[in-house]
Amino acid sequence: MKLNIALLAGDGIGPEVIDQAVKVSDAIAEKFNHEINWKPALTGAAAIDAVGEPYPDETHDICMASDAVLFGAIGHPRFDNDPSAKVRPEQGLLKMRKKLGLFANVRPTFTFPSLLDKSPLKRERIEGTDLVFLRELTGGIYFGEKGRRDEGETAFDNCVYTRAEVQRLAKKGFELAMTRDKKLCCVDKANVLETSRLWRETVQAMEKDYPEVEVSYEFVDAVAMRLVQWPNSYDVLITENLFGDILTDEASVISGSMGLMPSASLGSDIGLFEPIHGSYPQATGLNIANPMATVLSAAMMFENFGLQEEGKAIRDAVNSALEQGIVTEDLSENGKSYGTSEVGDWLAKNI
Amino acid sequence: MKLNIALLAGDGIGPEVIDQAVKVSDAIAEKFNHEINWKPALTGAAAIDAVGEPYPDETHDICMASDAVLFGAIGHPRFDNDPSAKVRPEQGLLKMRKKLGLFANVRPTFTFPSLLDKSPLKRERIEGTDLVFLRELTGGIYFGEKGRRDEGETAFDNCVYTRAEVQRLAKKGFELAMTRDKKLCCVDKANVLETSRLWRETVQAMEKDYPEVEVSYEFVDAVAMRLVQWPNSYDVLITENLFGDILTDEASVISGSMGLMPSASLGSDIGLFEPIHGSYPQATGLNIANPMATVLSAAMMFENFGLQEEGKAIRDAVNSALEQGIVTEDLSENGKSYGTSEVGDWLAKNI
Ligand SMILES: CC(C)[C@H](C(=O)O)[C@@H](O)C(=O)O
Ligand SMILES: CC(C)[C@H](C(=O)O)[C@@H](O)C(=O)O
């Protein structure tokens, strides 16, 4: 295959972890006879500094001309405690999601046998956890009208969903469930929110098209609890944008493998693949960031092109590295650890 | 003291657990020479069945004529999967909060030494956890305009906050922090939401009035993670209504003592006190529900009247019961457990 991949390294540790995913992907290309054309482009605080815009038009053009986007991380603390900042890295992320039509954020949470004891949860609570969140990514309160009234004394954010938006996300959820344990949980707050009632009634109406899928409906507060109690009771969960933001981050911790969790954002023809972790500014340039989540995001990218073997080759390399202790300091057991780029080199060599 | 207490037992196990709190409170009244006048009133599904309204005017009148409200639980599964139900028990709860001006929901999460191993989290993660959430309870997306457009195809919920609403909640947060470890965490999503930016800027402006309080600002998704990782790193957390709903439920699980967690809702002169657990319909009438959260809610009620000793007497009784294994089946260690009313009797006798 000939693949054009937009490469959006972003901020903080983004560039370092992206470098490793590139190495590993290049090794895959060589082994499986693909040709990858990397197209680097600016995003996040890095793009604000360079051109005053977190998702510049040139970057969008590069993405649109590519087959997929590999993304690092964005965000810089200098923007966080400044409520008055006019341009923020996060705006770039939201604009990108919207303009690329990435309405479904796929976030798996699974365990690695060798890492079970890293979890804050007891082993018996997480063993066997293998769930996937499908988070709606281009609607809801993130994108509704927002602003101030009364000379700034009143602020508002509008949460809006259409039935069509719910349907296309739920459809992906049902389809994904069919390839897995055939359980789908619709997470909402239908006892309070009208948007949630629309979600629930829309999903209910779709149940008949997937008679094999066992569908449950749970309130977001109950899921926030059960995720910590019995994460392994879930299979596929679908939810709206803001609930998904909160719950996917919560879920990422319970597996004990947060630094290893990849994600995909899908919708249009062009998928975006990124680690779930943030830009981790304190670690920037120190060659200590764990590149595995980004490397596994590249695996999801190959799999999304239908290249299952390529994805598996990456996953196998990551598993071997974990078993053999070729890990960054966050996962080190015995004091021995490797740098970001050493882990990347090892993975590339072991493809 | 002469106390008029409105008694809203509600649905499911509500009446059973409320009965025990009444027994224990009456024992307190006898021991400390108070006079409690209980005023039962209808709420929830029970009120819908009786008078077609989950928070009838007569109930509101009884609450307004009381010094405090002791509340059980509301909610019935027959309403949950019916998005078209016109009257819901939850509406009664929201109406009550609004009409009684209960803008601050106080939810402590703490550990009981004898229950540490009940937690899904490892002991070393939760030891020493003692945090309090102050959740804003009468604003935000719960109470903003909501509805449908486009012949029902589009749903919306509006989230609105005024600076004054944030200030009064934050003030309680700062004051509470001053009586504790002097750490305050403002939880928001200021990188996306305008209401969150109003929260953050309002709290930032109040910092100078409480120079001793160390204030931090964290995004809601990050808090959802850190609560599971290091719950004992928090002291007082303030947040808006919906984030509070999700995070307080998450926090309640990590302590391992969910069935024991009380709460208070404050604002006007009349406080409301209730267990954090729900109406647990499956257990209704079985005399198995754990009454301790409701009993501890009564302790918070006495403390809120300035009756610290009375509160402490209840807490001591609960601690003794836990140590001596006078517990319902959810907490039983050795197969031996007591009924809801037996636990209540024991507590009342040991005041
Ligand atoms: C950075 C932020 C805007 C973003 C979000 O809330 O969507 C992040 O938390 C995420 O989950 O990708
Ligand atoms: C029942 C429901 C409306 C309520 C809420 O969301 O506030 C409950 O979850 C709570 O936290 O008291």
A151: left (phi over 0), alpha (psi -120 to 50) or beta: left
- Using the atom order of ligand 2, give the atom closest to the CA of residue B245: 11
Confirm if B325 and B334 have CB atoms less than 8 A apart: yes
- Three-state DSSP class for B154? strand
What is the mean pLDDT of the segment spanning B170-194? 97
Tens of pLDDT, residue by residue over A40-83, are: 999 999 899 999 999 999 999 999 999 999 999 988 888 766 65
pLDDT band per the 50, 70, 90 thresholds, residue A166: very high
Torsion of CA A241, A247, A249, A254, to 10 degrees: -160
Q: Is residue B263 part of a domain?
A: no
B254 and B277 assigned to the same domain: no
> Are β-strands A68-73 and A2-10 bridged in parallel, bridged antiparallel, or unpaired?
parallel
The whole-number pLDDT of residue A143 equals 97
**CA-proximal residue: ligand 2, atom 2 (nearest):** B90
Q: Is residue A117 part of a domain?
A: yes
Q: Which of residues 288-327 of B touch A (CB under 8 A)?
A: none
A187: left (phi over 0), alpha (psi -120 to 50) or beta: beta
Q: Is residue B182 part of a domain?
A: yes
What is the mean pLDDT of the segment spanning A207-213? 98
The whole-number pLDDT of residue A146 equals 97
Tens of pLDDT, residue by residue over A12-32, are: 999 999 999 999 999 999 999
Q: Which residue of A has its CA nearest to B246?
A: A221
CA–CA separation, B110 vs A131, rounded Å? 30
Over 70: is that where the pLDDT of A322 sits? yes
B18 and B149 assigned to the same domain: no
Does the annotation list A135 as a binding residue? Answer: yes
Over 90: is that where the pLDDT of B169 sits? yes
Tell me phi and psi for residue A206, to 5 degrees: -90, -15
- The full length of chain A comes to 351
Q: Is residue A221 part of a domain?
A: yes
B175 and B73 assigned to the same domain: no
B97 and B124 assigned to the same domain: no
A120 and A148 assigned to the same domain: yes
Q: Is residue A331 part of a domain?
A: yes
The whole-number pLDDT of residue B81 equals 62
Ligand 1 pocket at CB < 6 A: A 75, 90, 93, 245; B 191-192, 221
CA–CA separation, A312 vs B63, rounded Å? 63
Tell me phi and psi for residue A273, to 5 degrees: -125, 130
User: Strands, DSSP E only, in A243-340?
Assistant: 262-266, 271-275
Question: Residues of A47-78 as b/e, b for ≥16 C-beta within 10 angstroms?
Answer: bbeeeebbbbeebbebbeebbbbbbbbbbbee
A66 and A124 assigned to the same domain: no
Confirm if A220 and A187 have CB atoms less than 8 A apart: yes
What is the mean pLDDT of the segment spanning B196-212? 97
Domain of residue A11: give its range. Answer: 1-102+268-351
Q: Is residue B39 part of a domain?
A: yes
A290 and A330 assigned to the same domain: yes
Closest CA to A63 of A100, A93, A26, A103: A100
* Last residue within a domain, chosen from B238, B258, B278: B258
B253 and B304 assigned to the same domain: no
Give residue B101's identity as a one-letter amino acid code: G
Confirm if B288 and B339 have CB atoms less than 8 A apart: yes
- Three-state DSSP class for B300? helix
The whole-number pLDDT of residue A334 equals 83
The whole-number pLDDT of residue A285 equals 95
Does the annotation list A249 as a binding residue? Answer: yes
B117 and B97 assigned to the same domain: no
Q: Which of A196-200, B148-152, B250-254 has the lowest mean pLDDT?
A: B250-254
Residue with tokens 């700034």: A152
* Last residue within a domain, chosen from B202, B233, B258: B258
If you compute the radius of gyration of chain A from its CA atoms, what whole number of angstroms results?
Answer: 20
Residues paired with A135 in a beta bridge: A105, A239
Q: Is residue A107 part of a domain?
A: no
Give chain B's mean pLDDT. 95
Tens of pLDDT, residue by residue over B60-110, are: 999 999 999 999 998 888 876 665 677 878 888 899 999 999 999 999 999
What is the mean pLDDT of the segment spanning B164-172? 98
A98 and A171 assigned to the same domain: no
Q: Is residue B131 part of a domain?
A: yes
Residues paired with B335 in a beta bridge: none
CA–CA separation, B282 vs B294, rounded Å? 18
Q: CB within 8 A of B68, min separation 6: which ones?
A: B3, B5, B6, B270, B271, B272, B273, B301, B304, B305
User: Is B253 an 8 Å CB contact of chain A?
Assistant: yes
The whole-number pLDDT of residue A83 equals 58
Domain count, chain B: 2
The whole-number pLDDT of residue B198 equals 97
Closest CA to A268 of A36, A60, A15: A60
* Last residue within a domain, chosen from B200, B235, B258: B258
CATH code (residue A315): 3.40.718.10
Residue with tokens 């604009």: A95
Tens of pLDDT, residue by residue over B265-290, are: 999 889 999 999 989 999 999 999 99
Q: Which of residues 109-168 of B touch A (CB under 8 A)?
A: 120-122, 125, 141-142, 144, 146-148, 150, 152-164
Tens of pLDDT, residue by residue over A96-115, are: 999 999 999 999 999 988 88
B-interface mutation test, from A91, A93, A225, most B Cβ less than 10 A away: A225
The whole-number pLDDT of residue B90 equals 82
B246 and B144 assigned to the same domain: yes
B44 and B128 assigned to the same domain: no
Q: Is the dihedral of CA A234, A237, A240, A242 positive or negative?
A: positive
